[in-house]
Amino acid sequence: MSVIADKLKKIQDDIAKACARSGRSEKSIKVVVVTKTAALEAIQEVIRHGFVDLGENRVQHLKQVANDIQTFLTENQDDPSIPDKVCWHMIGHLQRNKVKQTLQICRMVQSVDTLRLAEELNTQSHKLGIHTDILLQINCSGEAQKYGAPVGAAVHLAEQFTTMGNLRLVGLMTMAPLTMDKNRVRASFARARDIFEEIRGESFAGAKFKHLSMGMSQDFQIAIEEGATMLRIGSAIF
């Protein structure tokens, strides 16, 4: 097996174990492969293994990689072992003047943490004639992180997002605090889960509000135990 195949196998095994520990189905977990540091050949191999959800945190790099991957898919469109298309997720802080370029590539924006950003996403989606899936990014770490809406603003922001006609609020995203302390990591994921459940119980949320994106290479097993439905994994693969 190649190094990448090996690592993908290990991650799938770890996901299976965490699911077993928490009585969850592996089918309830989606892996978004974060490509920001990866070589093109490595990304192509991941796609060959059937991973089609890809994440980037910088628009400039996103444009380049998405373009290269599109060329790869087009050149291999007759190869049944290679998927027809991939789905790009924006996972990093997004400036409003980069929204239009982002929407030309991404069907999902996970890092929506202000009303102003949501409004720009809605406006540009309307112009492009598309509907964009978004996640509300919240800051559950209790530290003064730069990005993510404060927990206390989450429900109200979520409600405002659902009034925007070209956006679909499909869940929440959060990042654990930068610490080796597993208890603090777990506590922040549990907090995100609580807010996720609270919003899900609101009448404005609806059935499409179902994704809880949390867990990266260092902490995805804890995230699964705390209810994540979407993991964002980069360095454990590349």
Ligand X SMILES: *Cc1c(COP(=O)(O)O)cnc(C)c1O
Positions in the binding site for ligand X (CB under 6 A): 34, 36, 57, 91-92, 175, 216-218, 232-236
For residues 65 and 43, the answer to whether their CB atoms sit within 8 Å is: yes
Closer CB to ligand X, residue 124 or residue 137? 137
Phi, psi of 166 (to 5 degrees): -105, 10
Which two three-digit tokens encode residue 106? Answer: 């991404």
Which two three-digit tokens encode residue 204? Answer: 């404005």
What DSSP letter does each residue of 86-129 carry, written as one string?
-EEEE-S---GGGHHHHHTTEEEEEEE-SHHHHHHHHHHHHHHT
Closer CB to ligand X, residue 126 or residue 186? 186
Rounded Cα distance, 97 and 95, in Å:
5
Considering the complex, what minimum distance in angstroms separates the CB of residue 194 from ligand X? 21
Using CA of residue 225, residue 231, residue 237, residue 238, what is the dihedral sign? Answer: negative
Considering the complex, what minimum distance in angstroms separates the CB of residue 234 from ligand X? 3
Owner of token pair 């809406």: 149
Angle, in degrees to the nearest 10, between helices 40-48 and 3-21: 50
Considering the complex, what minimum distance in angstroms separates the CB of residue 139 from ligand X? 12
Rounded Cα distance, 57 and 233, in Å:
12
Closer CB to ligand X, residue 34 or residue 62? 34
Considering the complex, what minimum distance in angstroms separates the CB of residue 111 from ligand X? 7
Considering the complex, what minimum distance in angstroms separates the CB of residue 69 from ligand X? 18
CA angle 36, 33, 75 (to 5 degrees): 85
Rounded Cα distance, 164 and 126, in Å:
10
> What are the beta bridge partners of residue 24?
none
Nearest residue to the partner ligand X, using Cβ: 234
Closer CB to ligand X, residue 132 or residue 213? 213
Considering the complex, what minimum distance in angstroms separates the CB of residue 201 from ligand X? 26
Closer CB to ligand X, residue 92 or residue 227? 92
Closer CB to ligand X, residue 89 or residue 191? 89
Closer CB to ligand X, residue 173 or residue 205? 173
Considering the complex, what minimum distance in angstroms separates the CB of residue 215 from ligand X? 9
